[in-house]
């Protein structure tokens, strides 16, 4: 285990070594046991986390705030309208000022081409650790909880030999971030999973995340492939993770002006209304396959009720693990060994 993580930023999982990620998972398991037994684990007594949300949130906001409370600290729930960001305050100034007041900064900023850069600029200037609560590139708090869930369901730390399908799905809204699928394809191959990424040609991901997925797969001997057929992707999968995302990268490559992107994005969406996770499609996967989704899911669009409410669904186990993993992350980077 790598235990000297105090002060380290949590922005993308690619920034952390596999040993460091394994430490997060081990601490998550320990804190989950403490939670189950009702034992106190006030590891961040009297410490303050500033949470900056540029978008709405249910699981991320509440799991992070609950985590700080249960760890003995306090989380400030901030939005741009509550801060001088709305009046032009720079990320440099925000990072420097909040560093004087507390012990950690957590940010969700999913604006395409902006979020990751903003978080990294705050981190560059801050003297306290910065935690990414989701950006345009990665959603590391989600993907580490997903990894923990898969390990639990298959009773193994190594995912070697497991086929994980990350598939695009139709949904009635265009502007969904790419960060969930990108976080999955860059993390799971590092633990040996064979990852199949499936999407219509217009819904490609940011190239550097695909390159990272290919690099990690080569390093571990895992398989990584991209296909454009949802049925083919589901065949023999141990894990299916169907999730909608926008066509931001494709539209950017086409040099389409921002004001036209929403209209064109909706046109692309409506071309693929048959990309839905149905009970019939689930039959293509293995009998023991699990269905995953970060929530909220568009029921009837992304997935049928029979699937998300069915025996193969583990979505609420995923949601619970968001609490335990963020506790581990915060404890390690805000507390940890002195």
Residues of the chain with pLDDT > 90: what percent?
88
- Per-residue pLDDT averaged across 147-163, rounded? 97
pLDDT of residue 262: 82
pLDDT of residue 261: 83
- The full set of domain ranges for the chain reads 13-138+322-335, 142-318
User: Could you read off the pLDDT of 46-64 as tens digits, one per residue?
Assistant: 999 999 999 888 899 999 9
pLDDT over 90 (residue 160): yes
Out of 69-83, 100-114, 118-132, 156-170, least confident range: 69-83
Taking the C-alpha atoms of residue 164 and residue 269, their distance in angstroms, rounded to an integer, is 24
- Per-residue pLDDT averaged across 248-255, rounded? 89
Out of 26-40, 155-169, 256-270, least confident range: 256-270
pLDDT over 80 (residue 82): no
Q: How confident is the model at residue 322 (pLDDT cuts 50, 70, 90)?
A: very high
DSSP states of 199-222: --GGGPPPHHHHHHHHHHHHHHT-
- Per-residue pLDDT averaged across 275-292, rounded? 98
pLDDT of residue 328: 98
pLDDT of residue 315: 98
pLDDT over 90 (residue 271): yes
Q: Assess whether the region 13-138+322-335 and the region 142-318 belong to the same CATH fold.
A: yes
CATH code at 13-138+322-335:
3.40.50.1370
Residue 313's CB: how many other CB atoms inside 10 A? 19
Please give the C-alpha separations between residue 152 and each of 28, 49, 128, 155, 206, in angstroms, as whole numbers.
12, 29, 32, 5, 30
Q: How confident is the model at residue 148 (pLDDT cuts 50, 70, 90)?
A: very high
User: Could you read off the pLDDT of 202-220 as tens digits, one per residue?
Assistant: 999 999 999 999 999 999 9
Q: Give per-residue burial for 22-59: e unless 16+ CB within 10 Å, then b.
A: bbbbebbbebbebeeeeeebebbeebbbbbbbbeebeb
pLDDT over 80 (residue 84): no
Taking the C-alpha atoms of residue 24 and residue 319, their distance in angstroms, rounded to an integer, is 17
CATH code at 142-318:
3.40.50.1370
- Per-residue pLDDT averaged across 88-106, rounded? 94
Which residues partner with 242 through β-bridges? 167
């Amino acid at each position: 285990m790598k235990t000297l993580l105090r002060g380290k930023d949590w922005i993308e999982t690619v920034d952390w070594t596999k040993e460091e990620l394994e430490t997060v998972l081990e601490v998550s398991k320990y804190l989950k046991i403490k939670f189950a037994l009702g034992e106190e684990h006030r590891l961040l007594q009297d410490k303050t986390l500033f949470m900056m949300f540029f978008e709405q949130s249910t699981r991320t906001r509440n799991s992070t705030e609950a985590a700080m409370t249960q760890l003995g600290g306090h989380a400030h729930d901030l939005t741009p309208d509550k801060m001088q960001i709305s009046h032009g305050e720079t990320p440099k100034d925000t990072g420097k000022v909040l560093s004087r007041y507390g012990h950690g900064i957590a940010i969700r900023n999913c604006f395409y081409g902006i979020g990751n850069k903003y978080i990294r600029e705050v981190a560059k200037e801050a003297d306290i650790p910065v935690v990414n609560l989701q950006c345009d590139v990665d959603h590391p708090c989600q993907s580490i909880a997903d990894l923990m869930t898969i390990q639990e369901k298959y009773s193994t730390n190594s995912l070697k030999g497991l086929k994980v399908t990350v598939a695009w799905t139709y949904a009635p809204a265009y502007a969904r971030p790419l960060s969930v699928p990108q976080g999955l394809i860059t993390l799971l191959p590092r633990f040996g999973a064979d990852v199949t990424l499936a999407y219509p040609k217009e819904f490609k991901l940011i190239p550097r995340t695909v390159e990272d997925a290919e690099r990690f797969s080569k390093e571990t001997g895992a398989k990584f492939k991209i296909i454009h057929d949802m049925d083919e992707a589901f065949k023999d999968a141990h894990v299916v993770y169907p999730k909608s995302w926008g066509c931001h990268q494709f539209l950017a490559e086409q040099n389409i002006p921002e004001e036209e992107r929403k209209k064109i994005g909706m046109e692309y969406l409506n071309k693929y209304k048959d990309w839905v996770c149905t009970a019939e499609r689930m039959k293509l996967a293995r009998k023991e396959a699990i269905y995953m989704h970060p929530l909220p899911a568009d029921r009837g669009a992304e997935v049928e009720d029979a699937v998300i409410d069915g025996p193969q669904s583990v979505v609420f186990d995923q949601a619970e693990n968001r609490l335990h993993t963020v506790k581990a992350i915060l404890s390690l980077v805000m507390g940890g060994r002195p």
